[in-house]
A and B are shown apart, each in its own frame.
Chain A
Amino acid sequence: MTVKSTGQAVAEALALAMEMDEGVFLAGEGIGTSIHVNPHLPTFGLLDRFGPRRVRDTPVSEAAIAGLAVGASCMGLKPVIEVMFFPFITLASDMLVNHAAKLRYLSGGLSSFPLTVRVKSGAFAAGCQHSHYLEAWFAHVPGLKIAYPSNPADAKGLLLSAIFDPDPVVVVEEMPLYWTSHGEVPEGDIRVPLGRARIARQGGDATLATYGGAVHVALQAAETLQAENISLEVIDLRSLVPLDTAAVIASVRKTGRFLALHDATRFCGYGAELAATVAEACFGELKAPPRRIAAPDIPVPFSPPQEAFYKPSADQVAQAVRGMLRP
């Protein structure tokens, strides 16, 4: 067990997967030779270590990168491609939505597409063509799985599960976590199964389910609330598809209150699915209506105070929980 940054943990998973399986290769824009020289970026040093056969710098050609992955995975390789920023996935989405997700089904189960898409997300002062939380789009496509780590150990473990999963998996990596989130990372082939949530903090008064960087916001809010004798249970979903419905429901049965939190916009966001799931399963046990805390329905703004305004804060979370507890 060593303390590592999330970026280093991702790099460790990539290197380990490539060592374990000759069929694993990486492709993407600037994943080998990058304009950035930063050891916290996940593909740093991998070209030197594994060579250009297995670490492929591609042209600026997202559809081609995704087509490469779909075609190569159908032939039995395990491609791990990188989409530089989440909004750019729209250029690759025909391959992901109409092909990776559907061709197995259309073949009547004869084909498989064991590919992994690492997509870099987050708000990082670049404006909304570089920042857009699109996870709900992909969660809505049957045939794709979605992992969304919040910390270094999960970033490693979920990515390893994704790479060796026989189905297509999109792994959303929030870029700011690459260097801001450090933690202990187990050595070796440690996998975090897809579809198993983690209780990030135990609590008895309300359940909050979230993922990615928002987990840290939720934990901060829980800390504040603790001082007021309100105990918030925080569930880190870790994978959005498959969703660990059982963990969410079990927690809500215990607390009787539910909030969903995410940095994506509210309307048709992943929180809507969570709230509906809870309402259907636990209506009789709820002491308050389920709530969603999400970004306002606007693109991610550029100006620093506006970007900060866009992202739900720990204060907003604490306020919402207090509101649910008020008789």
Chain B
Amino acid sequence: MQRHPLDPNQRIGLHSDMLLIRAFENHITRMAHEQGRLPGMQITCHGQEAVAAGVVRALTPRDVVVTNHRSHGHLLARGVDPGALLAEIMGKRDGLNRGKSGTLHVADPGRNVLMTSTVVGAGPLLAMGAAFAQHYRREEGVTCVFFGDGAAAEGSVHEAMNLAALWKLPVLFVCESNCWAGAQAHQEHCPIGEIATRAASYGMPGEVVDGNDVERVHETAQVLLKHCRSGRGPVIMECRTYRMHGHGEHDPQHYVAKDELASWAGRDPIVRHAEALRRDGLGERTAGLREGAELAVDRAAAFADASPFPPPEEALEHLYVNPVTSEG
């Protein structure tokens, strides 16, 4: 696979994205543990930041993102406003989706973060449809969909890959293979061990990459996106990573061995990348990045805290564009 070395600005950019995602989700974790401050469940991507930053930074603004329940990283890397995102997570009026989505279904069509489904195997189908539109209009765009290894057990993922491959639709299927599906280990739901292997059955390329190595993820995504853009159809990119906080903040991970967690903590993508940057003489350029990320989250928190809840009767809005046709 032909890769192109990243320049220092790209490397710093990737690092900066990961820091923002971590700082944002640390705030979510803190709030989740303060009783009553956050409604509903909170699902974070702690430990998976390299996939979000590495893949999303490889996309152009015309590319479409379809994400899932573990979306904060994808959204922030895409440039979604952290204040509006946090307000949405809190169910506030100034949230991206006016509090209708909460943490689980955030969409920001203005940034081509088009749809979010928490029916875990549904994302690939939606993405295949969006990619069809790009293909139909003969646009350059690619649709990138994130789904978990657990989601890949759904039949809908097969149907999406089959049709996308058959019609050569530009879909980058990104499997965030994070070792766990709920409380079920990867080997308990995936007989062959790898999701990317399935690519062969659709006649498309499949790549497995170290999902905790942000630069490797980024370079691989760039190469695979080029394939999608060339009209040769979809690809599967499987990023091997780890879900450090369990299914959500409400999950104490009683079923996970302590040494497994410790071993993955030792491969933290942010720590690893910081070391690599230092090794290559870019340590000085990372100084202050963490503080900057934390400041951005503080500002987001102030914005979200100040936003009121939407009035209850606003729940009646946004179901239809037209409740009845103009003549009706």
Contacts and interface: CB of A to CB of B under 8 A. Distances in A.
Interface of A: 25, 53, 56, 58-59, 61, 63-64, 66-77, 79, 94-95, 98-99, 103-112, 142-143, 145, 161, 165-167, 191, 193-196, 242, 244
Contacts of A66: 125
B325 A193 contact: yes
A81 to B, nearest CB: 10
A74 B136 contact: no
B119 interface: yes
Given A68-B128, A71-B126, A98 B321 contact: no
Contact of A195 (B96, B116, B131, B325): B325
B318 A105 contact: yes
A167 B131 contact: no
B321 A75 contact: no
B321 A70 contact: no
Contacts of B129: 67-75, 79
B133 interface: yes
A167 B324 CA distance: 10
Given A70-B129, A161-B325, A64 B97 contact: no
A111 B109 contact: yes
A239 to B, nearest CB: 9
Interface of B: 64, 66, 95-101, 105, 107-110, 114-117, 119, 122, 124-134, 136, 143, 155-156, 159-160, 162-163, 166-167, 317-328
Given A59-B162, A64-B162, A194-B324, A107 B125 contact: no
A53 B110 CA distance: 28
B253 to A, nearest CB: 28
A106 B126 CA distance: 15
A107 B320 CA distance: 12
B309 to A, nearest CB: 14
Contact of B107 (A72, A77, A107): A107
B321 A76 contact: no
A110 B328 contact: no
A242 B133 contact: no
Contacts of A70: 115, 125-126, 129
A196 B327 contact: yes
Contacts of B108: 110
Given A107-B100, A110-B107, 11 more contacts: A61-B163, A67-B122, A67-B125, A67-B128, A68-B128, A71-B126, A74-B115, A75-B134, A111-B115, A161-B325, A196-B327
B327 A71 contact: no
Nearest to B130: A71
Contacts of B115: 70-71, 74, 99, 103, 107, 111
B130 A108 contact: no
Closest 7 A/B residue pairs (Cβ): A71-B129, A67-B125, A75-B133, A108-B97, A108-B98, A166-B321, A109-B318
Contacts of B163: 58-59, 61, 64, 68
Nearest to A60: B159
A188 B162 CA distance: 38
Contact of B133 (A56, A77, A145, A165): A77
Contacts of B128: 64, 67-68, 71
B5 to A, nearest CB: 35
Contact of A107 (B109, B324, B328): B109
Contacts of B317: 109
B125 A195 contact: no
Of B108, B117, B133, most A-chain CB atoms within 10 Å: B133
B119 A94 contact: yes
Contacts of A107: 97, 100-101, 105, 107, 109, 115, 318
Contacts of A67: 122, 124-126, 128-129, 156, 159-160
Given A63-B159, A72-B129, A109 B327 contact: no
Nearest to A25: B136
A110 B80 CA distance: 14
